[in-house]
Amino acid sequence: MAEIVFEHVGKSFGDTKVIENLDLTIEDGKFTVLVGSSGCGKTTLLRMIAGIGPATYGRILMDGKDITHQPPEKRDIAMVFQNYAIYPTMSVRENIEFGLKNKKVPKPERDRRIAEYAEIVGMTPYLDRKPSDLSGGQRQRIALARAMVKKPSVFLMDEPLSNLDAKLRAAMRVELIELQRRLGTTFVYVTHDQIEAMSMADTIVLMEKGEIQQIGCPEEIYHEPANIFSAQFIGTPPMNIMELGEGIRYGVRPESIVMEAQKLDNMALYRKGHIITREMLGAELQFKVRLSDGGTIMVRSPREDLAEDTDVWIMAKARHIHFFGADGIRLGHGGPQGLLDKLGGLNE
Amino acid sequence: MTNVADIEKQALREARRIKHRSWLTSYLMVLPAMAFLIAFVLYPTAAMLIMSLYYGNAKNPFKSWRGLQNYNMRADFWVALRNTAAYTGMALVLVMILSILFAQWMYKARKLNNVAQTLFFTPHLVAGVSAGFIWSWLMSSQPYGLFNTVLQPIYQILNVPSIRWLDSSDTAMFSIVLMNTWKSVGYYCLIIMSAMKSIPTEIYESARLDGSSSIKTFFKITIPMISPQLFFLLITITTGSFKVFDSVRIMTNGGPGDATRVLSMYIYDYAFQRNNTLGYACAAGIIMMLIMVAVTVFDFAFVEKKVHYQ
């Protein structure tokens, strides 16, 4: 169990400033996901916690104790790497045992723990195999067992699922969530995949260019995006953003748009559109629609009867419309009434 | 009208023609290599084997039949064999350890290391004969011998006689090993370093998180992961050292006494410097070859088990 606090932390690689003056608290016992596009500084933060990429300035606290200059082995953390970083020349057992041996854990205790955690990750039959004989998913499990067996206060995971195929990734996602619930340990998980972030996190920390864009639970991030970046990062396809004039922009998620051949009542937004493309995704369809002003938007809808190259009405309810100021910051749901009225003025 | 059988037959003929042509092409492609192998390896080996059964000299190798009598080795053969083994052992240990240490040192990307790499590698480009000459001057006991001139103050402080390098039977062999180590360490270091660079940094980071000390990381992770290259070094250094000739010939010519007489010099001596001992020299050559084969087979049978291939 541990809470991690970053205080005015910065990191530069040579002249490149990756992170500047960052403050962040990672809650004890929670599953926190650092998410953002590549180069946003999320892995840099994780490596600071691990102690393998020290901060250029600032302090990092773990349960109130300053660990900024503590060597990694003294930090009571374990890390799972993207490429697993399994020791290829050691057997599965030796891989799991290595950290314990270095900690001078006595042999009977080591054996007991190896048996326990090999069982948890389902690798018991493979303990004496070499990693090169195992599949990607199995190697991932070794990496997990190797991390868990140390019983750390904090688990750090750097895109641990990105090398797995889609099916296995989905299964491992569920397993990791269960694991975190069972262990009750602080998990810090780095990913660029918004779906992973949404499905696994208690708290999402959304980052871009070394700055935190938003911190919140998945529901908050989805329903109340702090800014345009946040609104467009989460959701596939990203939120449609359109100009309202005077620097104000408004946005509607593709799945919140109501698209019909006829005009419906009680909507806040009415636009004429023309379907350009139509993709069948299974439960839903994804449409690309050209608006009368020439702009295009994406729409997700279950309406299989709407064909390509037809005219439709694009509509949305007031509560699904987000307004953003000139600085990209969200002005609240539905926005001030004045903005809704202004939008109404543009309706067709 | 063409019937089906005809078409089938034609297709079959065509397939056979293509197969025949690709067979021919593949053999034509390996032909040059095969020709060289036969002309410069298989034929000389066979010739040596046959000559080793005769009494004769370079002009007339087949003066009379001696059978296996040439294989009754003279006492000085064992001296040469022992010298060769000593040389190989020293060279192997020294070159291996130094190239691993230098590689570990130069592994990190620093400006100094680029310079150091070039400096270490340059001796490899120097011809063996030239290197031998230079080092015999450096090690000379004459007033122009650089090493002893530089070391003189130290000898005086320690109150010890100066090292006689190539002039003493105790140090001559080691001096030659030293020269050849200087000459080859940069090359082997480069091989080891590239192997080290191929180890993912995450593995080292993971080891740090696992609380592994740097010495433990070196022996438990670095060494096993570069073991294929170390095995390659073992084989090439062993076989290369066993055949050492030019440096010994230049620096000591086998002396002082017989202290640095190695097998290839011994064979050269008996083949071309003496009367009618070509057959005996060939027999020594065959034995040397068999020893090298045996050592290599041993390496592959027992040492290779410890090698971790990815």
The full set of domains in chain A, from first to last, is 4-223 (3.40.50.300), 239-346 (2.40.50.140)
- Total Cβ atoms within 10 A of residue B109: 8
Nearest to A225 by CA among A258, A268, A256: A256
- H/E stretch holding A314: strand A311-316
Exposed e or buried b for every residue in A2-15, given b needs 16+ CB within 10 A?
A: bbbbbbebbbeeee
**CB-based burial, A211-248: b 16+ in 10 Å, e otherwise:** ebbbbbebeebbeebbbbbbbbbbbeebbbbbebeeeb
Q: pLDDT 10s digit of each residue in chain A, 348 long?
A: 688 999 899 888 888 888 888 898 999 989 999 999 888 889 999 999 988 888 889 899 998 888 888 888 888 899 999 888 899 889 999 999 999 998 888 999 999 999 988 888 888 899 999 988 888 888 888 998 899 898 888 999 999 888 888 888 888 888 889 888 888 899 999 999 998 999 999 999 999 988 899 999 999 999 899 999 999 998 888 999 988 878 889 899 999 999 998 888 888 889 999 999 999 988 899 999 999 888 899 999 998 888 888 999 999 998 888 889 888 888 865 556 778 888 887 787
Contact criterion met (CB below 8 Å) for A156 and A46: yes
Say yes or no: ipTM exceeds 0.85.
no
pTM: 0.79
Chain A positions in Cβ-Cβ contact with residue B205 (cut-off 8 Å)? 50, 52, 72, 79, 81, 85
Query: What single letter denotes the amino acid at residue A158?
Result: D
Yes or no, beta carbons of A73 and B203 under 8 Å apart: no
Of A81, A86, A102, the CB nearest to B212: A102
Q: Are A342 and A331 in contact (CB under 8 A)?
A: no
What are the backbone angles phi and psi of residue A316, rounded to the nearest 5°? -155, 150
Contact B310 A102 (CB under 8 A): no
For residues B103 and B97, give the distance between their C-alpha atoms in angstroms, rounded to a whole number: 10
Chain B residue nearest residue A100, CA to CA: B210
Residue to test with chain B: of A70, A76, A81, most B Cβ within 10 A: A81
- The rounded distance, in Å, linking the Cα atoms of A324 and A224 is 12
Q: Does B202 touch chain A (CB under 8 A)?
A: yes
Do residues B169 and B110 make contact, with C-beta atoms less than 8 angstroms apart?
no
Judged by DSSP in three states, B126 sits in coil
For an interface test with B, which of A52, A153, A156 has the most B Cβ atoms less than 10 Å from its Cβ? Answer: A52
Residues of B in Cβ contact (< 8 Å) with A132: 310
Q: What DSSP character marks residue B269?
A: I
**Pairs across A and B, CB distance < 8 A:** 64
Measured between CB atoms, does B243 come within 8 Å of chain A?
A: no
Which chain A residues have a beta carbon less than 8 Å from that of B221? 87, 89
Q: Is the peptide bond before B256 cis (omega within 30 degrees of 0)?
A: yes
Chain A interface includes B221 (CB < 8 A): yes
The helix or strand, by DSSP H or E, that contains position B1, with its residue range, turns out to be none
Is the minimum CB–CB distance between B308 and chain A shorter than 8 Å? Answer: yes
Q: Which residue has the tokens 């660990």?
A: A67
User: In the sheet where A186-191 sits, what is the strand order?
Assistant: A77-80, A154-158, A186-191, A31-35, A203-208, A211-216
